[in-house]
Structure 1
């Protein structure tokens, strides 16, 4: 069985090529990515395994990917122009 190497969140973030606080912020924003078998806490230090780093790398959005490309293409192809006006035009 392959032995897992463990890294602090700082080391893991740098290994992923991200900022030093990337894993801390990711864990706060999306805790569902961090399975209990992939992370450990020793005192105030969080550790993450190789398996955890690979899992996070595979399951996070890549830089430059657009979230709503299909929706944006549909909007740009329409011939209708949307104009938003206030409902109540009685100023006085």
Structure 2
């Protein structure tokens, strides 16, 4: 069985090519990405396994993801005024 290597969050962030605080911020913003088998806390230091780094790499969107950019381009290029109205149920009384 292959043994997992463990890295501090700073080392893991640099290994992913991100800033040293990337994993700390990701864990705060999206804790569902960090499974308990992939991370552990040793005193004040968080550690992440190779398996955890691979999982995070596969399950995070890449910068400039087309899925996010294309709808924005369509909104900015339109010649019509877009107006989003709240749902009618907000106006109805619940008697």
Which runs of 5 or more structure 2 residues have no equivalent in the other structure? 84-95
The alignment status of 1:81 with 2:80, answered yes or no, reads yes
TM-score (norm 1): 0.78
Which structure carries more helix by proportion? Answer: 2
Deviation, 1:6, is 0.1
Deviation, 1:68, is 5.1
Say what the alpha-carbon RMSD is for the aligned residues.
2.2
Counterpart-to-counterpart distance in 2, 1:77 and 1:17: 34
Which runs of 5 or more structure 1 residues have no equivalent in the other structure? 85-92
Counterpart-to-counterpart distance in 2, 1:22 and 1:36: 18
Counterpart-to-counterpart distance in 2, 1:24 and 1:43: 15
Change over 3 Å in CA distance of 1:50–1:83 after alignment to 2: closer
* The structure with more radius of gyration: 1
Q: Residue by residue, what CA displacement relative to the aligned partner does 1:33-81 show, whole Å, maximum 9, x if unpaired? A: 0000000000000000000000000000001114152x34655786x62
Structure 1 runs (4+) deviating above 2 angstroms are 71-78
Counterpart-to-counterpart distance in 2, 1:39 and 1:74: 40
Give SS of 2:41's match.
Answer: strand
Q: How does 1:7-86 map to 2 (within 5 A)?
A: 7-66=7-66, 67=68, 69=70, 71-72=71-72, 75=75, 81-82=80-81
